[in-house]
Amino acid sequence: MQRLLRYARWDADAVRNDIRIYAVEHLGTDGGVLIVDETGFVKKGRASAEVQRQCTGTAGRIENSQVGVFLACATSRGRALIDRRLYLPEHSWCTDPERRQAAGIPGGITFATKPRLAWETIAAALDAGAAAPWVTGDEAYGQDPPLRAGLEARGTGYAMAVACSTRVRINQGRTPVRADTVAERLPTNAWQRQSAGPGAKGPRYYAWAWIHIGAAEHRHLLVRRNRTSGELAFYLCWSPTTATLAELVRVAGVRWSVEECFQAAKGQAGLDR
């Protein structure tokens, strides 16, 4: 594997396209969700393309590393990574042409935020025929208005994690309020026990609640509460047609399958080598 990656001459994007076609064909469309997330690759030295000291969840701290933005596709049949973009840091790489040339970074590649890279992978997958009616991702992507707007423009529903401080509009869009304040005001009977999908020890049950936000239809704030610790998580949700609470919970819960993809890719295929 390492000999192939290091010395063989091959078109990485063409292989990516083949893998995406293969994965979409074999995974099918039942329950399809596209998942955006990032992972880091700890490195030594400065020669690796786009490496710098930056925060990476892989190490849980700031390390000399590369960061890649990935897209996974998950259905009832399974899950697979189907696209990737390597994040190009703005200051340490974009303005250093000699370093870029030495690392083999084409001149046409410019700085893009991680949400922008995520959108590029999503748009490419949809253009290639990926029949996934939903997208999910963590706060780094859910907090990005252009990404959410792009999904809505494509008619693709989403359940994207956001921070507790995110302001939403309730009362038919008339009243702005923080997401955690909304959760505090919910009555006891607003919470429902739902599974976010299977885990290592069986179904992952949480208490869930949702509330309509904004003036348009099919827009909700979804709140997840840990039934033991009381910890809350928040999701902005939109769908082109009516969606049930159970469906939004399913989409939000699928996000964790991308971590399994990363684990398998690093452990079995040398993704972090």
From its phi and psi, is residue 131 left (phi > 0), alpha (psi between -120 and 50) or beta? beta
pLDDT at 23 over 70: yes
Give the single-character DSSP code of 210: E
Residue 128 to residues 195, 267, 273, Cα–Cα distance (Å): 32, 28, 29
Q: Determine how many CB atoms are found less than 10 A away from the CB of residue 102.
A: 12
How many Å apart are CA 95 and CA 184, to the nearest integer? 47
Confidence of residue 190 (pLDDT cuts 50, 70, 90): very high
pLDDT tens digits, residue range 91-114?
878 888 888 888 888 878 889 999
Between CA 37 and CA 46, with CA 40 as vertex, the angle to 5 degrees is: 140
Average pLDDT for the chain: 90
Q: What is the pLDDT of residues 27-40, one digit of tens each?
A: 887 889 999 999 98
Instruction: Provide the whole-model pTM.
Output: 0.91
Residue of higher predicted confidence among 34 and 24? 34
Least confident piece of the model among 11-20, 57-66, 185-194, 246-255: 57-66
Per-residue pLDDT band for 48 (boundaries 50, 70, 90) equals: confident
pLDDT at 193: 97
pLDDT tens readout for residues 114-147: 999 999 999 999 999 888 999 999 999 999 999 9
- Whether residue 208 is predicted with pLDDT greater than 80 in this model: the reply is yes
